[in-house]
Structure 1
Amino acid sequence: MPILYLVLVFHAALLAPLAWWQQPVGLLMVLLLTGGSIAGILSLTGKIGQSRRVKGSILSVSAPAAGIIEVKCQLEKKWQGHSRTICVRYL
């Protein structure tokens, strides 16, 4: 989605008539397009959530029932709000 958004920003910046940019709505467009572009670039470079990442390894993968996969992980350091061994189930 960030790539699509940046393409659309490029499209809007090049194809919007000059008269639009000279009106108050042009200033609003510049602010919104700039903010969205910054967010898109941060997303593409992996900066979002970087401080909350924790390395870990998979201890086991099992299928206790049909349509359920259980994955147990061991984290290298404590992840706030979670125990060191996490059990995640996906349907």
Structure 2
Amino acid sequence: MEPVFRTSSQLDVILQCGERRLLTINYLLDIAKIEANKMPVLYTQTGMREYLESIILPLKLAARRKTLNLEFRFLGLPFEPIWIGDFLKWPSST
């Protein structure tokens, strides 16, 4: 018989994958609405570094659970460009 904590961990992974799949489907639907001019795009300026770090954070946590170390560094010159996009539609870092 499998330990309960392992089954719980597997259910968490399934839940996370389902949530990501739902987000992806919603993003695709939003793109279709934008292309059909049925949804406005609100533009704002934000730092690219923070956005990329928010994307990497869940991957770092998943790697840590597997006893792996994921490093994310900007190489070369300081990376501080501004990206203009629809900030309201970006995934949160939670």
Normalising to structure 1: TM-score of the pair? 0.29
The structure that is strand-richer by fraction is 1
Q: Choose between structure 1 and 2 for higher RCO, CA contacts under 8 A separated by at least 6 residues.
A: 2
Give the greater-gyration-radius structure (CA): 1
Higher helix share: 2
